[in-house]
Structure 1
């Protein structure tokens, strides 16, 4: 098992397979696992500046697909949360999300609350494709801004 994991990590290592690494990390980090993908994007772009736009687009795609998985997880667990249906926090959160609809998924880029927000959008059965579109927009701008800022703050560090 350890050899398999070592070989997988070696295959995904930057920069040989950088875009695939960014995709996998961005995908996994968009699920409910506590992981950030920005360091991988930044590292790849720092090592290969010509991959700025491909890295942003691949990270956006991976993170959006991960958000879509979170949406489906939320949709699938709709009936599991019936026990706290009447809590005041639950009622306020539902009212807020229902008022904003799929546009609330623009906030899917936020650390800590963005990925669960995608799951809750699925649980509320908000329309899948509009949610996906807003997730992609929010995540694209997160990667664009974060990577550009990091490149600006650390211009010649490598």
Structure 2
């Protein structure tokens, strides 16, 4: 993967994630960028600015959908999720604590999507929303990209140390550990899914 590929992946995934779409796997893009930053093939601040611009673009698309073409559908969706008083509560919180709500929602998945969509539906001023979203997108992207960079740095350092002293049985043990963790994760997700269907 080259720096261009990493920038494109970062932009595309964070733009989609920024619309409020849940379940977007954006983490690999930060890790890939962090790896290239560690190798000196990519700029840290370049990655942060690209990620911030993409995420802000996604936020504005989500806001526009709530304010314009998808208003009726999104109102019904939020009404179903939040209940009859949901929109009244959203108007109150966005009106009184707009900056805090928009910025903090960027960090918490369960309220991110409703906040992005509700801001357009309740008619929050576009310029104010853009400012708050830009601050939220910047701080969120900065933190994730820094974690991706430093996480890669320490992992590569550990990997080099491991390879210096590794033996065949240590490799076998590591493979078994990874397989066990993967199997446990799959089983956990399956149990959650099965329990959800049972209810």
Give 1:92 shift.
Answer: 2.2
Q: Aligned pair 1:157/2:155, yes or no?
A: yes
Residue correspondence of structure 1 range 46-61 to structure 2 within 5 A: 46-49=35-38, 50-61=42-53
Structure 1 36/135 Cα, relative in aligned 2: closer, same or farther at 3 Å? farther
TM-score, normalised by the number of residues in structure 2: 0.63
Does structure 2 conserve the Cα–Cα contact (< 8 Å) formed by 1:108 and 1:139? Answer: no
Partner of 2:16: 28
Q: Aligned pair 1:94/2:87, yes or no?
A: no
Residue correspondence of structure 1 range 71-110 to structure 2 within 5 A: 71-76=63-68, 77-80=70-73, 81=75, 84=79, 87-101=84-98, 104-110=101-107
| Structure 1 unaligned blocks of 5 or more | 1-12
Partner of 2:171: none
Instruction: Give a deviation string over 1:54-91, Cα, whole Å, max 9, x none.
Output: 01110110010000000001112334436949813332
Compute the RMSD of aligned alpha carbons: 2.6
2:58 to 42, 66, 70: 66
Q: List, as ranges, runs of 4+ consecutive aligned residues in structure 1 with deviation greater than 6 Å.
A: none
User: Which structure has the greater CA radius of gyration?
Assistant: 2
Give 1:16 shift.
Answer: 4.4
TM-score, normalised by the number of residues in structure 1: 0.77
Does structure 2 conserve the Cα–Cα contact (< 8 Å) formed by 1:31 and 1:69? Answer: yes
**1 CA distance for matches of 2:27 and 2:106?**
11
Does structure 2 conserve the Cα–Cα contact (< 8 Å) formed by 1:108 and 1:135? Answer: no
1:133 to 121, 131, 151: 131
Give 1:154 shift.
Answer: 4.3
Residue correspondence of structure 1 range 10-29 to structure 2 within 5 A: 15-29=3-17
Query: SS at 1:125's partner residue?
Result: coil
Aligned residues: 146
Partner of 2:110: 112
Structure 1 82/142 Cα, relative in aligned 2: closer, same or farther at 3 Å? closer
Query: SS at 2:20's partner residue?
Result: coil
